[in-house]
Chains A and B, each alone.
Chain A
Amino acid sequence: MAPLADAEVRALAHLARLELDDATVARLADELAAHLAYVAMLDELDTSAVEPMTHAVAMTLRLRDDVPGPALTADDALAGAAATRDGCFEVPAVID
């Protein structure tokens, strides 16, 4: 089957925020096409009588009481971050 177009792979990579080099884009173009061709087998199935099974077990949502538990300290919350400033996570400037 034909590989995906490079442009489509790059668009997907942007949607997923992945910076990929040309070689990786080319490789994924082939691999994605192969994968999609394989899973196309699912089209053989008549699924008109079933609903999508988004949960493994049929259950309904349990509700939680509106009672606060302990919060993490700011130190713990920020502990893993590579860059912090004034008690906040720091990122390159965001322009709205």
Chain B
Amino acid sequence: MDDLLARSAIALAAEVRAGRVSAREVVDAYLARLALTEPAIHAYLAVDADGARAAAAAVDAAIARGDEPGPLAGVPLAVKDLIVTRGLATTAASRILDGWIPPYDATAVARLRAAGAIVVGKTNCDEFGMGSTNEASAFGPTANPWHLGRVAGGSSGGSAAALAAGSAALALGTDTGGSIRQPAALCGVVGMKPTYGRVSRWGAIAYASSLDQIGPMAMTVADAAVTLAVIAGVDPRDPTSIDAPPPPLAPPTVGDLRGLRVGLAREYRPADLDPEVAGAVDRAAAALAAAGAELVEVGLPHTRYALPAYYVIAPAEAASNLARYDGIRFGPRPPADDLDQLYARARAVGFGPEVVRRIMIGTFVTRVDHRAAYYDQAQRARALVRDDFDRAFTEVDAILAPVAPHAAFARGELHTPLSMYLADVFTLACNLAGLPGLALPCGATVDGRPLGVQLLGRPLDEATLCRLGVALEAAVGPARRAPWPPPGGAP
């Protein structure tokens, strides 16, 4: 059983396809681990044990018949509750969707099911993806499996924690400003934000439409790469999905990196950067250099404007995307005397304070008398941020950077909304520019909290990121499951 929990998704699928272990055994092992860890971690909002066992039985039956079960046959998959799953409650971690059962699957989920993956449950997150600690869930926070008193990160904290705790072998997250990469770093797992448009957003509950992407989270770079290959691809139901050649299904192999140039951006190394975080980047740089890559300093001069640009654009699009939540077609409905009161009450009661805050900001910056000065100006700043990357990528093939300015911190430690937003400084420029980003573990703090680094790449060049990633993984060691019970004690 423990052996199954230590396997990568690719290895599990290979075992299942070869008939050496049944999908049912795999699912039972992960469900058992889930039962053990969930009370303390709270990574999940919904667990579908019956559905998972039924899906496992179907995989096993297919294999018995000699049918092709799919490249991820039998792999237990956790899906962030910001992604819709047919017949399985989906809440976006918000009261406003309490009790909603989607009548359809997100395209990414459907493709994974077709590949034989088994949906185990829906993971906790910051409400509507708005947050970087998972403290903004309406249904309680998720604890970091490496230290229960610390946050798991966000907004895909539940998915990251499920992987680290061993209650899933693969997970889906969404990343709008770092929401896959940051919790991956804080929980010591791998997380990839694909190029914008790589993966269909059909079924991804929209936060900021021009920034959101669904992406894989896993214990190895190869697992993330294979998952990307399964979920990527143009979708007629998503006009922002790109019609591009698919990434390769075969996992990347460790090889020599000679010829690859890796950039280190000055703006991503502020003087006051936490020394342990800086140390992780240095370790990664040394490992990549040792494998043959050339390290080059690059400039991304508009970096400091990425944060304010994001915190105008994302709330603006969010306010628009969340206008549909009104208690009429789905979600709970409070008593109200008239229609306007129904809208105002359902929304005020259903949305948490962070969501309300961002809707208010978004409404302000798109008011007819403010739009040019705020929203349009932010979108222009965005173009300048993207131009920085275009120029940098004429000199390098990828950029190595920290993910979060700190390892997992204690709950409630980020006091003001603004201080929380500032912590996204290293992740969100990548979303503004639509570029791919891969976060992977790189050591730990002295007190055992995981540290991560990220690699940012050219549009559609996830392959280079994975090539660098597997080399780094080989040098510094792959992601590990947190031991149970975790060190650091109870919150």
Contact = CB atoms under 8 A, between A and B. Distances in A.
Q: Do A and B bind each other?
A: yes
Interface of A: 9, 12-20, 24, 28, 31-32, 34-36, 38-45, 47, 50-57, 59, 61-62, 64, 72, 76, 79-83, 89, 91-94
Contacts of A34: 416-418
Given A42-B308, A91-B342, A94-B339, 4 more contacts: A39-B311, A56-B196, A79-B103, A92-B341
B338 A9 contact: no
B380 A53 contact: yes
Contacts of B239: 61-62
Contact of B364 (A17, A36, A45, A92): A36
B101 A55 contact: no
B400 to A, nearest CB: 22
A52 B376 contact: yes
Contact of B312 (A39, A62, A72): A39
B187 interface: no
Interface residues of B, number: 74
Contacts, number: 166
Given A17-B344, A20-B348, A45 B305 contact: yes
* Most B-side CB within 10 Å, residue of A44, A51, A53: A53
Contact of B361 (A19, A32, A54, A61): A32
A68 B384 CA distance: 42
Given A17-B347, A92-B337, A80 B417 contact: no
A42 B378 contact: yes
B382 A35 contact: no
B450 to A, nearest CB: 29
A92 B338 CA distance: 5
Contacts of A54: 210, 379
A62 B239 CA distance: 6
Q: Which of A20, A54, A57, A81 has the most B CB atoms < 10 Å from its CB?
A: A57
B383 A64 contact: no
A80 B161 CA distance: 30
Contact of B328 (A24, A41, A72, A81): A81
Interface in B324-340: 326-333, 336-340
